[in-house]
Structures are given as structure tokens and as C-alpha cells.
Amino acid sequence: MIDNSTGNPGPQGWWINEADTEEDKLLLERKRTEMLTEAAPTRFCASTPGPVNQFFLDKVITAQKADGIESGLTFMHVEIAAFGTPLNWLAQLIGSCVPSGGMRAWVARVLCEILILGQTEESFGVSITDKKNLAHFAPYNYRLGRAIINLNGSSDGSICSAHRQGMMEGGSLPCDTLGLTSDTFPEPQSEQLYRQWGANNTLTEKYKLIAQAFKLGTSDNISSPEKMTEATNRFEPQMICSNYAFRPDYQHPTWKYADGSPVWIYKRDTTTSWGHNMTIYGYANVGGKIYVMVKNSWGMKAHKNGDHFWIPIELYAQWIKQAESCSIGEIDLTDSKPPIWE
């Protein structure tokens, strides 16, 4: 097992201007988050979970125990309980980490709403590769966030606070929308096409009335390990934008996945930085210690354990102080029996 992110990280994109300093980006993010929260406190808050489908949640717990997790919750194991394997998304292609990571968090929340919280909603689809996709069309949300901060043209990048505002105000676009074309779904594998969507409002204007039916209803501000675990326990994955970079630290002495592969614990790489959005995909209690799962958008060969890595919660506590993070809460979807239950 190799780590391709060390020394050769994938494309990033947490910025308005790539030359922005970490301090500039965090100041902007936090000012915008404060403004948005003051304007709509009943939406920038925790969701209110209802009763759970214990049968399915038990399947998640069983999958976690098979992977050596004593307690906690990870959204990867929600995927395993639903599909028998983690979802294998295509790697991020351009500096689109904000919509790429946001899409992964959005899908995880949708699965939880339908399968764990038992909401009578219909998922967009059941595939991860074609138009009947579980995910929304990520370039649409990419443009919504960029438009909010007046970021136009062919340069890459966006910020977390604008992206979630776009999801809350403009919604999300199903991949099977009539007339929507792309070489691949839910994200183009054409750099030109992805940047065309991000450049201006020409393409998004065609579909805004459709997308507005599928808005993000709630999103909590995450600022501590306690807020992270609370959000996860409410089945809310989280986006996290920062300049932190990571590298392998050690192979856990006893923790192995069900297939026998060892679990690697990561540390901060202080020799470099990633202006990057990733996804907090849950936490695990192993041997009396808490570890946080960080899901990346660089593909299944990015890290020692694939598209994700684990960090001690003590490192997360340091990281969150220098990051902007928000949860993906209640999502408005069409009310009907979901096809993944048929």
C-alpha cells in the first residue's frame, strides 16, 4: 500500500485567489458564516433527527465491528451496509475540491435520511457512474458557490461557506435532468467542461427552477471535536476546508479491516500545505482511543487505505481551530418510496 498524496497531492481548490493566505481565507469564511447564521439561525443549526431504522443501523454497526471498530459511526459503513462495498467515486479532476467533497457528504446524508432515518424520500438514482446517479451534478453546485462570491472565468476554486449557501438557496441538480449532458456523471472528466460550468451563470440558469426543489435545509457550524461527534451522531457528514496537509504516521498495531489490511494513522505534514476541502466521514473508537475518518476526493489510490485516512481526535482538535467546517443536515428530496428499497 502506497500513499500517492505524499509529495504528489491531487488538485485542490480552497480559495478565491490561489495566492490567498490561510489567514485571509479563514477570516473571509468566518465572517460569511457569522453573517449567514445571524440571518437564518433556524437553518444554520443542527437538524432534528427522528426515530431510526434500527434494523439497518444494526447492519452498519455489524459492518463496523467487522472492520475492527468498537463503537462510533462512519458513513463508509453506511455505504457498506447499503451496497456491500464503499462507493468508489472518480477522482477530482480540477481545483474543484469544494463541490467534489461536498457531493460526497451530500450523498452520505441522503443515504442516512432514507435508510437510517426512514424518511419517505426518493434518491436521485442508484448509480455512481451514469445519469441515474445517487449524487447531484457537482458542477451545478460549483457554479452556485462561485457566483455568490463573484468568482468567474476559467480559474479554479471556491470556499465552503459560499458552497453551502448555494446548496441552501439554489438546491441541487439531478444528473438525469432532461437536456443535461456530460462525458461522465456526477462530475465531468473533461477539464474544459467542468470549468465551463464554473465560469459564469450561462449553464446554471437553464436548470435553476429544477434544482431549487432540492435544497439543503439545515447546516450546522462545526468548531470542536464535540460538535463533530454530535453532528455525526445526527447522521450529518461534514465539509472541512483548511490549509492542513497530512501524511502517514504509523500502522496501527492491532486495528485491521475485515479484508486483513492494516489501518494507517496519519499526522499533519508541516512541510507543505493543501488549500483543500475534504469530508469528515465519521469517527471510531478502537482500543479506547478515538480516531476521525477523513475522506478525500483524490480517488481510491490516494492514501494507504484508499480514498480516506484516519487521524487521532487530538489532531482533529488542533485542525478544527484552523479550519472552516460545516455539516450537511436535512436535504429536501421528492417524497416517495426510494428505488433503493425496491
Q: Which of the four pLDDT bands, split at 50, 70 and 90, describes residue 337?
A: very low
- In this predicted structure, the answer to whether residue 142 has a pLDDT above a threshold of 70 is yes
Find the helix or strand (DSSP H, E) in which 337 lies.
none
Mean pLDDT comparison of 76-80, 119-123, 335-339, highest-scoring range: 76-80
- In this predicted structure, the answer to whether residue 342 has a pLDDT above a threshold of 80 is no
Percent of the chain topping pLDDT 70:
98
Residue 58: predicted pLDDT: 98
The class of domain 22-40+50-341 in CATH terms is alpha beta
Burial bucket for residue 183 (CB in 10 Å: 0-12, 13-18, 19+): exposed
Within 6-69, residue ranges assigned H as helices are: 22-39, 54-66
> Per-residue pLDDT averaged across 70-77, rounded?
98
The 10s digit of each residue's pLDDT in 223-279 is 999 999 999 999 999 999 999 999 999 999 999 999 999 999 999 999 999 999 999
Task: For residue 38, give every residue at least 6 positions away whose Cβ sits within 8 Å of its Cβ, in sequence order, or none.
Answer: none
Q: Which of the four pLDDT bands, split at 50, 70 and 90, describes residue 336?
A: low
- In this predicted structure, the answer to whether residue 63 has a pLDDT above a threshold of 70 is yes
Burial bucket for residue 132 (CB in 10 Å: 0-12, 13-18, 19+): middle
- Global confidence as pTM: 0.96
